[in-house]
Structure 1
Amino acid sequence: MDFFTELAYRNFALFTFGIICLIGTLVTGILSFTTTTEVLGINAFIKPFKFFLSTVIFSWSMGWYLGYLNHPTVITIYSWTVILVLSFELIYITLRAAQGQLSHFNISTQQNALMFSLMGITISIMTLFTLYIGMLFFQSKLPELPSSYLWGIRLGIICFVIFAFEGGIMGAKLAHTIGAADGGQGLKLLNWSTKHGDLRIAHFVGMHALQILPLIGFYLLSSSKQMIIFSSVYFITCTVVLIQALLKIPLIK
């Protein structure tokens, strides 16, 4: 079976949700070229485009990994938690983009502050649930999986959770740029600041350990020891990038 047939078999709910979000990615991508609404100096629909795309990758990754676990009730509850939480976030982000307004860090009114808080609470619940899924991978014996791949999944989830919660630093500061106000010159599409520290970089790289570590473990490494060493280097790199941002130093000038 090809990847998508197998993914639909493993977790049809997250497979379908990923398809819906892929459509959202295409729509917001088109809108980013056909509209002139801007937020912080860039097209307003760039942000929902990136969030839709990230959700596709996350949903399909977790849908694939969950297929290895024998916990059907937990998997069903988790899958629908992901769908409900991320649907709420994506709808709100896209709505605010259409209005030319910030979705995150926006506490300009009581209602905006409430919505920002709700996003933080719901994402935290989903992230903690993802940590629990990671614990199940530590507890489950999966002899059919290469040890490097299994450890890639385990450590990928742990790294994802840690750097997902790194977003709390941005929430506390109500900004992602260190050393200046949000906005200004940044890398194309990613918009990471090229003048100041940017907390989004460690957030992005750390969370995508969820895909990178298992892929490295499956295709390039051959033992759990190699995977643990590689994951440690990866985690240290993410931490260095975070410290660099906190010191107001851009990743690329």
Structure 2
Amino acid sequence: MNATLRRAMRWHRPLMLVAAVTAPFVVLSLAGLVFDDRVLVGAPIWLKPLKFAVSIVIYAVTLAWLMTYLPRTRLARWTATAIAILLAIEYVIIVGQVLRGRQSHFNIATPLDAVLWGAMAVSITLLWIGNLVLAFFVMRRRIGDAAVTWALRAGTVISLAGMAIAFLMARPTPEQRTSMSDGTFAGIAGRHSVGVVDGGPIMPVTGWSTTGGDLRIPHFVGIHALQALPLLALALALLAAWIPVLRAESARARLVLVASAGYAGLTGLTLWQALRGQPLLHPDGPTLLAGGALAALVAAGAVVALRTLPSGSE
């Protein structure tokens, strides 16, 4: 049995099981979008299960692969298994609430809704802690060449920051806190949008607000650093066959570090934009200026990274 096959057989099974069970819900959710015309909080009711199914499959497979490079300690294995269970719990509640025609996130309108949202909130918190534990192993491990190693380290840290943005969403707005005390509370404590009420006009596919800020945008950007940055490292390795300067491992590693800093900046920029109640597609002057400065810094960093290679590099 060759090394590649042995490594493939070590992919974390509980995470792969969660991915395999969740994957059919991508198709089922698409069918729901076609045949179920219900709308919940301004969006097709099956849009949330679709987005979460895609995200969970990608995340679970990524983590299952990553586990083959981490130490096979009980702590690492149990943490990954706990993450798989928590992902399953969260998705079961999301689908269950859709079948009931109820909002899953932030909903405490009835005792059952409150229990389900409480379970989700605990799951989200424990998921973050679990990822923090695995990040400790990633930061201490060399995985592949320097470019891949730094891509995974940076991707893990930025992903943790992206996950943490979920805690901002769970905070009741000032209006919701006021309604809790004056007897007009509608049962929702938390929000995705900033500056507008959830349920307004949204972008197709993503469901992000087109009239206000949306915290799901930096949440999405940050979380998927764990896929984007390693894919960049892989792309650079493939391009090395045609671009001589990329044949030097140090060149690829430096470019990954520059890209990681830029990706972290992009996550922060989208968070800043969302917190100011600004739609993604309608940036104001300061946002455009900051975005332009970030792009210029990344471009300059890439040039410097390639021009300051150690002597003797190919």
TM-score under structure 1 length normalisation: 0.92
Q: 2:209 aligns with which of 193, 198, 207?
A: 193
Using the TM superposition, give the Cα deviation of residue 156 of structure 1 relative to its aligned residue in structure 2, in angstroms: 0.7
Counterpart residue number, 2:156 = 157
Using the TM superposition, give the Cα deviation of residue 4 of structure 1 relative to its aligned residue in structure 2, in angstroms: 10
Using the TM superposition, give the Cα deviation of residue 38 of structure 1 relative to its aligned residue in structure 2, in angstroms: 1.7
Using the TM superposition, give the Cα deviation of residue 73 of structure 1 relative to its aligned residue in structure 2, in angstroms: 2.1
Matches within 5 A, 1:21-60: 21-60=22-61
The amino acid of 1:240's aligned partner reads: L
Using the TM superposition, give the Cα deviation of residue 8 of structure 1 relative to its aligned residue in structure 2, in angstroms: 5.0
State the alpha-carbon separation in 2 of the partners of residues 229 and 17 from structure 1.
34
Q: 2:265 aligns with which of 222, 225, 236?
A: 236
Counterpart residue number, 2:14 = 13
Using the TM superposition, give the Cα deviation of residue 203 of structure 1 relative to its aligned residue in structure 2, in angstroms: 0.3
Counterpart residue number, 2:229 = 213
Gaps of at least 5 residues in structure 1 are none
Using the TM superposition, give the Cα deviation of residue 183 of structure 1 relative to its aligned residue in structure 2, in angstroms: 1.3
Using the TM superposition, give the Cα deviation of residue 69 of structure 1 relative to its aligned residue in structure 2, in angstroms: 1.2
Matched position secondary structure for 1:10: coil
Matches within 5 A, 1:64-79: 64-79=65-80
Q: 2:256 aligns with which of 227, 231, 241?
A: 227
State the alpha-carbon separation in 2 of the partners of residues 123 and 75 from structure 1.
19
Name the stretch that deviates more: 197-206 or 211-220. Answer: 211-220
Give aligned-pair identity as a percent. 26
Q: Classify 1:41/1:4 alpha carbon distance in 2 versus 1 (closer, same or farther; 3 Å).
A: farther
1:86 is the counterpart of 2:87: yes
The answer (yes or no) to whether the contact 1:146–1:218 under 8 Å persists in 2 is: no
State the alpha-carbon separation in 2 of the partners of residues 14 and 86 from structure 1.
9
The answer (yes or no) to whether the contact 1:176–1:199 under 8 Å persists in 2 is: yes
The answer (yes or no) to whether the contact 2:29–2:50 under 8 Å persists in 1 is: yes
The answer (yes or no) to whether the contact 2:18–2:88 under 8 Å persists in 1 is: no
The amino acid of 1:225's aligned partner reads: R
State the alpha-carbon separation in 2 of the partners of residues 119 and 189 from structure 1.
24
RMSD: 2.0
Using the TM superposition, give the Cα deviation of residue 241 of structure 1 relative to its aligned residue in structure 2, in angstroms: 0.6
Q: Classify 1:238/1:60 alpha carbon distance in 2 versus 1 (closer, same or farther; 3 Å).
A: same
| CA deviation string 1:141-165 (max 9, x = no partner) | 44xx111111111111111111101
1:119 is the counterpart of 2:103: no
The answer (yes or no) to whether the contact 1:44–1:98 under 8 Å persists in 2 is: no
Gaps of at least 5 residues in structure 2 are 173-189, 238-248, 283-314
State the alpha-carbon separation in 2 of the partners of residues 23 and 151 from structure 1.
33
Q: Classify 1:6/1:183 alpha carbon distance in 2 versus 1 (closer, same or farther; 3 Å).
A: farther
Name the stretch that deviates more: 35-44 or 9-18. Answer: 9-18
Using the TM superposition, give the Cα deviation of residue 113 of structure 1 relative to its aligned residue in structure 2, in angstroms: 2.4
TM-score under structure 2 length normalisation: 0.75
Using the TM superposition, give the Cα deviation of residue 33 of structure 1 relative to its aligned residue in structure 2, in angstroms: 1.0
* Higher CA-based Rg: 2
Using the TM superposition, give the Cα deviation of residue 110 of structure 1 relative to its aligned residue in structure 2, in angstroms: 3.3
Matched position secondary structure for 1:190: coil
The amino acid of 1:239's aligned partner reads: G
